[in-house]
Chains A and B, each alone.
Chain A
Amino acid sequence: MQPSSQDSRVNPDSTVSDRIAPAAIEEVLTPAMCVKDLDFYYGSQKALEGISLDIFNKQITAIIGPSGCGKSTFIKALNRIGELEGKVRVEGRVEFFGQDIYGDRVNPNRLRRHIGMVFQKPNPFARSIYDNVAYGVRLTGRHSKAELDEIVESALKSAALWDEVKAKLNQSAYGLSGGQQQRLCIARALAVKPKVLLMDEPCSALDPIATMKIEELLQTLRQELTIVIVTHNMQQASRVSDYTAFFSTDESRIGQLVEFGLTPKMFTSASQPRTRDYVEGRFG
């Protein structure tokens, strides 16, 4: 279904040598997550059909597509958070470093510690900035005050928020601006040291300056993390991502993967006409 995905794995450095440091090319080839023939149902309603794609380790994968094509559903299937919102059924396989995440013996809570998530609207808890970041860490067991302080500080620094909040760590997180709240949510997700970070339209509720800060942040995080970002904004996808997946629906309202490949190729010479139409703004 996606010949370009195959292409990219065979010869990844032909088009992206300037985007990816040479040392990273080895890692490019290891997928952090493998999705194989994924069908996703809400109750009896099929939402996704036959999705197969690889999410490469320490790369940024953007997911684009028109509204209602199942982008959010797809990334919610990657950390099994979709099943908290209602009755869902999954067919096919989603592997996280070779492990089937829908396997019988998988503890979804432990899984979600490794696959963090940032939501569309900033959703800090009604607590202090410090407690927001420390929450996930405290769930994993007892930590000394010094350890927690260090983790909170480094998470806030990774999220480029430390300098703005270091003087008011004990104040409510609701006192922050929308962009700061979203970066706090990123810091909160980073504090538990995930291997993959899922971002569901993280900038759609933010102004351009806050969006720019988050995009800059993504560029620094990419050295450590595998990132999957859903976005409505095609410029954003082309700016930040290494790989792009284009989802769309047909008349049946079931989301499908149309094409997956290296971002520059997807935006300049996509193989599928539907992808070309979408990225050039002719539909969707």
Chain B
Amino acid sequence: MTTEPNFLDQSLDTEIHQSLPLTRTLFSRGMTVLAFALTGGALLPLFAILFEILRQGLPPLMKLQEMRLLGLPISIPEVLVSLPAPEGVQDRANGFANAIVGTLMMVGIACLISVPFGVMTGIFLSEFGKRNAIANAIRFITVILSSVPSIVVGVFAYAVIVLTKLTIPIPLLNATFQTGGFSAWAGGFALSVIMLPIVALSTEEALKLVPTSHRLASAALGGGRFPTICRIVLASALPGITTGVLLAVARAAGETAPLIFTALSSQFWPQGLFSPTPSLSVLIYGYASSPFKTQNQLAWTASLVLIGLVLLSSILSRLVTRSSLKIR
């Protein structure tokens, strides 16, 4: 090793080129190996699940069906556009298109309920309730709500929506709206109860990350609380809020227990908001425990589609929030 004697005298030079004591070197190496090994161990189940789902679920997706969409001929996997075929019928297209539609419907309803309420709760907790007893109580309750087992949420929705028989008149349409029974909106309601605390708490966290200096700058320009929160704080926190909503969506889309109690399932296309509605998660549950091989295999495919849907919604909403931020 060449040295520059002008800069370093001999003792300092040997000092800085000396390696650490053997024990410390070994310990350092050992900890590095351990950290990598444990990280690998933690990721192993994730990749194992993804691999197995792809291996088992992909083959049925390869069976294509010719369709016309808006006059254009396209090929699309049969399972994505067909209804479940009765077991034992050979020459009919088999799939779970109705469950995809049902899941989208119910997660959509759950978002419509939980996003406004959750975001508003988050705004209240972050912007209005810094050291406020009411806000502390609400935060505590929200945390408890987020840890309520989903089956309990299902039973709750079953009790308050499925079992009640209320006739609510719709004023302008001269019609009535009957609550009760298994329905898509009961399922959506149950899912919204699961999503609500996740949306509320992640909104609060996202809003807290917006620097106070931005709020002060807005106030110094004469911006009251409303414009400050709407135009500055929410705009800056949008990516964080989106992430929270997506986490909630991912959680809700996979929930089975609340839907068994509220939406039930069906073999047909969803018949609107007020009848039993199929969903991917309940279908996976039913098919996975079924004695029939074809249904077992479709359960894998449905799992793959469910993961794909969550991934797709995540990518899409990230693209949307990112591009909207750029325009601003």
Binding site for B on A (CB under 8 A): 79, 81, 84-85, 109-110, 112-113, 116-117, 119, 121, 123-128, 131, 135-136, 139-140, 172, 185, 188-189, 192
Across the interface, A123 reaches (CB within 8 A) one of B217, B222, B231, B325, namely B217
- Please give, as numbers and ranges, the residues of chain A lying within 8 Å of B1 by CB-CB distance: none
- Chain B residues with CB under 8 Å of chain A are 211-224, 227, 231-232, 235-236, 325-326, 328
Docked-complex contact B224 and A109, CB < 8 angstroms: yes
Cβ–Cβ contact B222 & A189, under 8 A: no
From known contacts A84-B216, A126-B235, infer whether A131 and B328 are also in contact, taking CB-CB under 8 Å: yes
Q: Which 10 A-B pairs have the closest CB atoms?
A: A136-B221, A113-B222, A117-B220, A123-B213, A127-B328, A109-B224, A109-B222, A123-B217, A126-B236, A112-B222
Question: Known contacts A121-B213, A135-B231, A139-B227: does B222 contact A126 (CB below 8 Å)?
Answer: no
- Name which residue of chain B comes closest to A185, CB basis: B217
**A121–B212 alpha-carbon span in the complex (Å):** 12
> Can you give 15 A-B contacts (C-beta < 8 A)?
A81-B219, A112-B220, A112-B222, A116-B221, A117-B220, A123-B216, A123-B217, A124-B217, A125-B235, A126-B235, A126-B325, A131-B328, A140-B222, A189-B220, A189-B221
User: Would you give the shortest CB distance from B320 to chain A, in whole angstroms?
Assistant: 17
Compute how far the CA of A135 lies from the CA of B218 in the bound complex, rounded to whole angstroms: 8
Chain B residue nearest in CB terms to A191: B221
A81 to B213, CA, bound (A): 11
Question: Bound complex: CA of A162 vs CA of B212, how far in Å?
Answer: 28
Query: Would A81 and B216 count as touching, CB distance under 8 A?
Result: yes
User: For residue B325, which residues in chain A have a CB less than 8 angstroms away from its CB?
Assistant: 126
Closest to A84 in B: B219
**For A189, what are the chain B residues with a Cβ–Cβ distance below 8 Å?**
220-221
Contacts of A110 in B (CB 8 A): 222
Contact of A135 among B213, B221, B326 (CB under 8 A): B221
B143, chain A: closest CB distance, angstroms? 26
Q: Most chain-B Cβ atoms within 10 A of its Cβ — which of A112, A126, A140, A189?
A: A126
In the assembled complex, the Cα of A127 lies from the Cα of B217 at a distance in Å of 13
- Min Cβ gap B9→A in Å is 38
Please determine whether B221 and A127 come into contact, CB atoms closer than 8 angstroms.
no
| Contact residues in B for A172 (Cβ distance below 8 Å) | 326
Measured between beta carbons, the chain B residues less than 8 angstroms from A84 are: 215-216, 219
Known: A123-B213, A125-B214, A126-B328. A79 touches B232 (CB 8 A): no
Point out the residues of chain A lying under 8 angstroms from B224, CB to CB: 109
What 4 additional pairs, Cβ within 8 angstroms, besides A119-B217, A185-B217?
A84-B215, A116-B221, A127-B328, A136-B222
Q: How far is the CA of A84 from the CA of B223 in the complex (A)?
A: 12
Residues of chain A lying within 8 A (CB to CB) of residue B223: 109, 135-136, 139
> Which residue of B is nearest A83, CB measured?
B219
- Residues on B with C-beta less than 8 A from A79 are 220
Chain A residues with CB below 8 A from B222, complex form: 109-110, 112-113, 136, 139-140, 192
Q: How distant is B328 from chain A, measured CB to nearest CB, in Å?
A: 5
A116–B218 Cα distance when bound, in Å, is: 10
Instruction: Verify B232–A125 contact, CB threshold 8 A.
Output: yes
CA A79 to CA B308, docked complex, whole Å: 53
Choose from A112, A125, A128, A135 the contact partner of B236 (Cβ within 8 Å). A125
Contacts of B213 in A (CB 8 A): 119, 121, 123
In the bound complex, residues from chain A placing their C-beta under 8 Å from that of B217 are 117, 119, 123-125, 185, 188
Contact A112 B328, beta carbon cutoff 8 Å: no
In the complex, the chain B residue whose C-beta lies closest to that of A114 is: B222
Query: Chain A residues near B231 (CB, 8 Å)?
Result: 135
CA distance A185 to B221 in the complex (A): 10
Bound together, the chains give a CA A82 to CA B199 distance in angstroms of 32
Distance in angstroms from A128 CB to nearest chain B CB is 6
* C-alpha gap A131/B235 in the complex (Å): 12
Contact status B235-A127, CB under 8 Å: yes
Most buried by A among B220, B236, B326: B220
Q: Is the CB of B328 within 8 A of A192?
A: no
Smallest distance from the beta carbon of B229 to chain A beta carbons, Å?
Answer: 13
Residue of B nearest to A110 (CB): B222
Cα–Cα, bound, A189→B222 (Å):
10
> Which residues of A lie under 8 Å from residue B214 when comparing CB positions?
123, 125-126
Q: Find chain B residues with CB under 8 A from A125 CB.
A: 214, 217-218, 232, 235-236
Q: In the bound complex, do residue A123 and residue B211 qualify as a contact, i.e. CB atoms below 8 Å apart?
A: yes
In the assembled complex, which residues on chain B have CB atoms less than 8 Å from the CB atom of A123? 211, 213-214, 216-217
Min Cβ gap B37→A in Å is 40
